[in-house]
Amino acid sequence: MTYRQIHTQIWKDDWFMELEADEKLLFIYLFSNENTTLAGIYKLNLKVAAFETGLPIERIKVIIESFARAGKVVYASGIIWVVNLMRYNATSQSPKVKTAIDKALAMIPDCNIKAAYLAGRIPYQYPMDTVLNSNSNNTETETDQEQQQLTDGASAVVGSCFQLYTQEIGKLSKFTSEKIGDMIDEYTEAWVKDAIEIASLNNVRKLTYIEGVLRNWKANGKDASKVTPDDDQAYRDRLKADAEKWGYAA
């Protein structure tokens, strides 16, 4: 039998005290259902959650979105990260706990939530329907329409940088995720995306190259910021011109 901790102080927590009864039920469920892991990230089937809690699926989606806005969870494509679950349950640093966490992470397919988790960055300000859908196979039984509702507006979240890097440069590792997160913190998400595009356009798929582009922009200016990705070819042409101007074209 698996055990999970829910601290008694939760009933005095200001945020928790303001929740409706069904919101409290779902939050405790997210901490204690049989799919939870010490890592705090696991596969969540909304239909199973509805059956086990007795809450309608549509109500569960609304509640999870409100939890996401509060920075308590991140959810998309059947994967949920309950932000404080590991904090309250994986208190030991023993090899057994580490092994359990590594095993739980290995069960999660590569996706933006996992990348953000590895980088230790939580998109607090974004609701769950702005978290990017991953390219991995979806093991959930939800319909395509339901999934689309959960992933509309995806370009707003930090995880979109991880997806772009995966598409244009290569596979994400824990180190790469952390470095991209650091670059976002220093240079902004928009700049990092543009630098990734330049690396792809010039066929120089290296993280150090992307960092060099960003440092150059910071020191000398960034002409490409005048053109948005919505302009498509004009955007790519401007990125190319910017690369040639500052000497980091291939």
165 and 202 assigned to the same domain: yes
pLDDT tens-digit map of 18-71? 999 999 999 999 989 998 888 888 999 999 999 999 999 999 999 999 998 888
pLDDT reported for residue 54: 95
21 and 106 assigned to the same domain: yes
pLDDT tens-digit map of 122-155? 543 333 333 333 333 343 444 444 333 333 333 3
203 and 138 assigned to the same domain: no
141 and 171 assigned to the same domain: no
Tell me what the pLDDT averaged over the chain comes to: 74
- Give the residue from 182, 139, 189 showing the smallest Cα distance to 163: 189
**Number of domains present in the structure of the chain:** 2
Residues 36 and 49: their CA atoms lie apart, in Å, by 12
Q: Provide the CATH number for the domain around residue 167.
A: 1.10.10
Which residue is it, tokens 């809690």?
A: 53
143 and 167 assigned to the same domain: no
136 and 241 assigned to the same domain: no
23 and 136 assigned to the same domain: yes
126 and 162 assigned to the same domain: no
Q: CA angle at residue 48 from 46 to 50, to 5 degrees?
A: 70
19 and 113 assigned to the same domain: yes
Q: Span 176-196, mean pLDDT?
A: 83
Q: pTM score, two decimals?
A: 0.51
Q: Provide the CATH number for the domain around residue 123.
A: 1.10.10.10
122 and 225 assigned to the same domain: no
The whole domain housing 106 covers 1-154
Candidate ranges 156-160, 161-165, 184-188; pick with highest mean pLDDT: 184-188
Choosing from 132, 154, 176, the residue where a domain stops is 154
pLDDT of 163 above 60:
yes
94 and 166 assigned to the same domain: no
- Give me the DSSP letters along 130-158: GSPPPSSPP-----HHHHHHHHTTGGGST
pLDDT tens-digit map of 61-105? 999 999 988 888 888 889 999 988 877 766 556 777 777 778 888
